[in-house]
Amino acid sequence: MPSIFSRIVAGELPVYKVAEDEHHLAFLDITPLVEGHTLVIPKREVDYIFDLPPAELAALHLFAQRVAAGVRAAVPCKRVGVAVIGLEVPHAHIHLIPMNKVADMNFANPKIKVDERRMNELAAAIGAQVPTVVAGTPEMPTDPRDTKGGRETVEASEPDAFQAPIPDAASAADDATLGPLREMTKGLTYMSESEAPLTAVSFAAPAGGLTDAALAKLAGVPVGTPVERQELTYFLRNHTADNGVTGSAEMANRFKQLQMFLKQELSGTQVYRFGKGPQVPVLVLGEGEGGQLQGFKTVLTET
């Protein structure tokens, strides 16, 4: 009989997913010791963790290292404790537990109750902080809390209604890491009278500030195009509703995760709309590390 974790991997049981790759899954423990208590499992069902082949065991711990960085960044704690018990579920798993004192790791402690809304918030917040593995960059950040350094992302090369400026060589090298923001916008579309993809972008902050003229240059529209500013929560309101504008709870949760990331990890995030229909270019930008502007672009159809 498949383990409960194998049923989760198969999609038969719901879960508060934090992170996933081809071979591993991380999700919140539904009977946690503390808020943010996360489980990391291999998707392949193996009862005893040390029965995993060396390469798979190493890969599991590397995945757990990334998830732990997300837990530590999203949940106030001094350390993220690690435990492997192996008696509760016959499927290898690692406990990642935010801790401020040794007693936080005591499995004899009463389990706490966390409501569904809070669990969704925690899963999204932790997931937004998990560093992305980048080909050719095997090392973790020097400080696991510092996950923003890999988040300077550039727009995809696919054509759309407007083209942002090509970054200079220095910023292109920095942005080649393609961090979590690129992952979070991947496959998302903004629904208006038509559909348009969300594409992650990163720009150096204009020397004179975000004037209408500077914004127009970033958006690749003529200087003098009217700029309308809008609050992010309002802009995404239809997409973050319970089932979203598409009727998909999964897509709604992805938009909620993106919104939380933009509001928590970037400062002063703002929506900028350029001109009037039928095609309205949109930039969503906030300030990240070193004054770098990050966010996404899309296009509205308004006839």
Strand ordering across the sheet containing 293-301:
199-203, 293-301, 279-287, 267-274, 227-230
> Domain 4-129: which CATH class?
alpha beta
Amino acid residing at 143 = D
Task: Name the segment(s) of the chain with CATH classification 3.30.428.10.
Answer: 4-129
Residue 133: its pLDDT value, please? 53
Q: Would you call the peptide bond into 281 cis, given omega within 30 degrees of 0 as the criterion?
A: no
Count Cβ atoms below 10 Å from residue 38 Cβ, excluding itself: 27
CATH 3.40.50.2300 describes domain 148-301: no
**Residue 282 φ/ψ, nearest 5 degrees:** -135, 135
Query: What are the angstrom distances between the C-alpha of 120 and each of 36, 136, 187, 212, 257?
Result: 11, 33, 21, 37, 9
Please give the positions annotated as active site. Answer: 93
> pTM of this prediction?
0.47
Per-residue confidence band for 276, with pLDDT thresholds at 50, 70 and 90: confident
Lowest mean pLDDT among 93-107, 213-227, 245-259, 272-286: 245-259
Q: Averaged over 152-169, what is the pLDDT?
A: 37
The torsion angles phi and psi of 65, rounded to 5 degrees, stand at -60, -45
- C-alpha span between 166 and 154 (Å, rounded): 9
Task: Give the confidence band of 20 by pLDDT, cuts at 50, 70, 90.
Answer: very high
208 falls in which pLDDT band (50, 70, 90)? confident
Q: Which residues of the chain form CATH 3.40.1460.10?
A: 148-301
Rounded distance between C-alpha atoms, residue 155 and residue 179, angstroms? 12
E-only strand ranges, 21-126: 24-28, 38-42, 79-83, 94-99
